[in-house]
Amino acid sequence: MGLKVVSSAIISFSLFLLLASTAKAQSKGVFDVTKYGSDKDITEALTNAWKDACASTNPSKVLIPSGTYSLRKLTLAGPCKAAIELQVDGMLKAPVDPNQFSGGHWVNFGHVDKFTLSGSGTFDGQGKAAWSKSTCQKDKDCDSLPMNLRFDFITNALVRDITTLDSKNFHVNVLGCKNLTFQHFTVSAPGESVNTDGIHVGQSTGIYIIDSKIGTGDDCISVGDGTEELHITGVTCGPGHGISVGSLGKYPNEKPVSGIFVKNCTLSDTTNGVRIKSWPALYGGVASNMHFEDIVMNNVQNPVIIDQVYCPWNQCSLKAPSKVKISGVSFKNIRGTSATPVVVQIACSSGFPCEKVELADIKVAYSGPDGPAKSQCSNVKPIISGTMSAPGC
């Protein structure tokens, strides 16, 4: 009996040592910014915590605990020696004055592999005072305001549960990234905020935006040139300008867009639903293999639209057609309500007509004074199947 008691004590003590060792190892892998002498402004503390974590040969985590902190312009860059996570549980506030920024971002993550941005925290861009100063909608040569978050050349990454609030410009810009997922991600800004795209993706491959909520003053999600294999699933959008591929054809040497899949999304009170847009007259490009399926529209002004004469604020010439070639597009099982009688508008280029456009089961009702609901198509011969609540194409 005594031997059993001794053996049990030894096992218990060994287990205690193992747990203590594991806890110690975990604590070594967590870099809490409040341990780096931070007070209200955590810019230097976060910079130093990131450097230490990035240099670790074991997976590490930088922690910003609950609380409210000021954060100036910052770049958190790799490459890091192992997987790294930034857990933000606090409220981070950007400088209010746009003049305190140089360049186009507030927080920039760059050149990191195996990266996670997580937590219940918020990046507050404090953009309200800046929106009235923006001239970018009318002036092509405007000074750009800073974006909340930039992800440049990030690979194998996850952004989860984070909120971006009231950015001065785009909330998120994704450039040159591969295998990056946004999950349970929240974008919040009022409908009158200027040029505040929720997530803009360009020149990236394998981007997933899933189960997220985006409300802003511009496109909820916008897709730039060079985007391939973008999957948007379970996203709610509104207010905003919808989910848009483009605008394309504004700049020379744009890379093709291909493999865009938008599914099981809901758009409410937006100025557009699912949209592809290109500029007339300017530069060429290719956009293909784009599919929009199982989409709910609630009081959306332009539910289904291809616009190849996109020319806001008359910043271009309408004398020549768009040089962007669009093909392989499907809109399937689109249902709900429209705020305007034109439920489907497919306005393709007369110089490069759209090819292989499919419309299937477009059941979007309009009950306003300008009815009945209708569709408009030009420079395209769509393949139509199923129920179409708005005839015309």
Which residues are catalytically annotated? Answer: 241
In 37-171, beta strands by DSSP E: 60-64, 68-70, 74-77, 84-88, 91-93, 105-110, 113-118, 122-124, 147-152, 155-160, 163-165
Residues belonging to the chain: 393
Do 69 and 42 form a contact (C-beta atoms < 8 A)?
yes
Residues 362 and 304: their CA atoms lie apart, in Å, by 9
- Cβ atoms of 130 and 167 closer than 8 Å: no
CA-CA-CA-CA dihedral for 283, 284, 286, 292, to nearest 10: 40
To which H or E segment does residue 309 belong? none
Return the H-helix or E-strand segment holding 393.
none
Match 């790294």 to its residue by tokens. Answer: 84
Give CA–CA dist 367/127, Å, rounded.
Answer: 37
Measuring CA to CA, which residue among 130, 69, 142, 58 is closest to residue 101?
A: 130
